[in-house]
Amino acid sequence: MRLEFIDRVMEEDVLGKSILTCEGQVLLRAGVKLNSNYIDKLKKLGVFYVYVEDERLEDVYVEDEKLSQLKQSTMKSMSKVMVNLNNYDEKGLRHSLKTVEEMINYIVDVGDVNKSLYDIQTYDNYTFVHSIDTCVMASFLGISAGYNEFDIKELGVGAILHDVGKTKVPIEILNKKGKLTDEEFAEIKKHPVYGSKILKKTVGTYSPIIKIVEQHHERVDGRGYPYGLTNKQITNFAKMVCICDVYDAVSNDRCYRKKFRPNDAYELILSGSGSSFDQEIVSYFKNTFAVYPLGCCVKLSNGVKGYVVRQNRGFPDRPVIRVLQDPETGDNISGYEVDLLKNLSIIVEEIV
């Protein structure tokens, strides 16, 4: 399977990974042949890239079917989750969160981080997909940190609810394409407090989930919001969700800015270690997530281009690359692999 920018997708390419709506319905199913109408529609929906089938990379399989089903069920339940929260319906909330807990349990038991991220997002489903991906990332981060299953479930639920307070922020502010005024930004900065108030009326005052929602924009150096808390005043769960929230948010296009390149998004987290983000949790992040997703095409420092086919655990910027074209002529070749962990003089320069 190959990760391809939407502008380079060709008619007759076969979609490798399904695209969902904000309600968890299949918008376009994996296996369909793409035509000009499909491609134009995806562009209008704000899709930046898609996975397409490629026989040269048939061993690169990026989808965990069971987890995809659980994500789909979770996305379908998110509207009910939000309704129950805003109605302060504790019983209804517990019921609607069951699919979230099933997804987290699956991640703890058998999840593969390299087949769990990089869902295809459209503008209409961004909010729910972002919440779900933040939950998935936080769950894997909790596993790396050695938390037990109960704690990881609390962490994951807090992560999926981290932006619930935005339901109280005017939609015209949330979707504004231009620069926010000082007053508008001040309103945005209230959403952790709004979320905390909603949850206190629904899940009780002392739940660790409340601290995640309330503190996910705090920074260890005290420059976050809403309270300007510092290091030990912020819970570890909130510190984890903070990192996952930032990384996923900047890795996707929004109405007001373009997405970061994967290496730039990754570097943003690493460069914030000890200032914005907790150093120990950043080390867990580095040992858990890779810079370059499976199936993407990269250019190496020696001028060769190839596709990421495997990751080297603990070395997020040094994957295994499969070269399929002669760098001199551009002709297709049978292919060979370059393990960047064994070829330390070569680095990835950019995604192409």
Q: What is the pTM of this model?
A: 0.87
In whole angstroms, how far apart are CA 328 and each of 231, 271, 302, 307, 344? 52, 36, 12, 17, 22
Judging by DSSP bridges, how do beta strands 305-310 and 19-20 pair with one another?
A: unpaired
CATH number of 1-50: 3.90.105
Handedness of CA 217, 219, 225, 226 (dihedral sign): positive
For residue 231, give both structure tokens.
């290091």
Predicted pLDDT of residue 257: 45
For the segment 92-146, what is each residue's pLDDT rounded down to a tens digit?
999 999 999 999 999 999 888 877 777 777 777 778 888 999 999 999 999 999 9
Site of tokens 């979609």: 15
The residue type at 83: V
The highest-level CATH class for domain 63-286 is mainly alpha
Sign of the alpha-carbon torsion through 175, 179, 181, 185: positive
Task: Note the pLDDT of residue 95.
Answer: 92
Q: Tell me what pLDDT residue 258 has.
A: 57
pLDDT of residue 264: 82
Q: What is the pLDDT of residue 256?
A: 42
Residue with tokens 């793409």: 34
Distance CA 327, CA 88 (A): 61
pLDDT for 25 = 83
pLDDT at 110: 85
Q: Which parts of the chain register pLDDT below 70?
A: 205, 252-262
